[in-house]
């Protein structure tokens, strides 16, 4: 079993409140989950109205497939006009990590 994760630090456009932020992030998270069948959530910067940390995790029998799914999610996020990706952190767990 392999798990690939991606944490995207995103900047939101013309947002002035946490309520406006939720109106952007909630549908975005829901759409990623529906489109790619992955675990996804806002995992950081909850108290900032213009920033969000969106994390995605994909589980697969092969590292390459898990990585491909996470890469596709990142590409999808990058095409969204309402956000700008500032930084991305990817990780793959599995293989020799399985005994931990």
In order along its 100 residues, the chain shows pLDDT tens digits of 899 999 999 999 889 999 999 999 999 999 999 999 999 999 999 999 999 999 999 999 999 999 999 999 999 999 999 999 999 999 999 876 554 4
What domains, with CATH codes, occur in the chain? Answer: 2-94 (3.30.70.1120)
Cα distances (angstroms) measured from residue 42 to each of 1, 8, 53, 56: 24, 10, 6, 9
Could you tell me the pTM of the whole model?
0.86
State the Cα–Cα distance between residues 85 and 10, nearest whole angstrom. Answer: 4
- Judge contact between 2 and 62, C-beta under 8 A: yes
Helix, strand or coil, per DSSP, at residue 92: strand
pLDDT tens sequence across 24-36: 999 999 999 999 9
**Predicted pLDDT of residue 97:** 55
């Amino acid at each position: 079993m392999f798990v690939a994760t991606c944490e995207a630090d995103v900047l939101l456009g013309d947002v002035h409140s946490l309520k406006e932020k939720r109106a952007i992030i909630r549908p975005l998270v829901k759409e990623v989950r529906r489109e790619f069948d992955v675990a996804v959530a806002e995992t950081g910067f909850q108290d900032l109205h213009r920033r969000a940390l969106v994390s995605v995790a994909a589980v697969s029998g092969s590292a390459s497939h898990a990585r491909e799914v996470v890469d596709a999610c990142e590409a999808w996020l990058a095409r969204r006009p309402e956000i700008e990706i500032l930084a991305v952190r990817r990780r793959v767990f599995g293989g020799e990590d399985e005994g931990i």
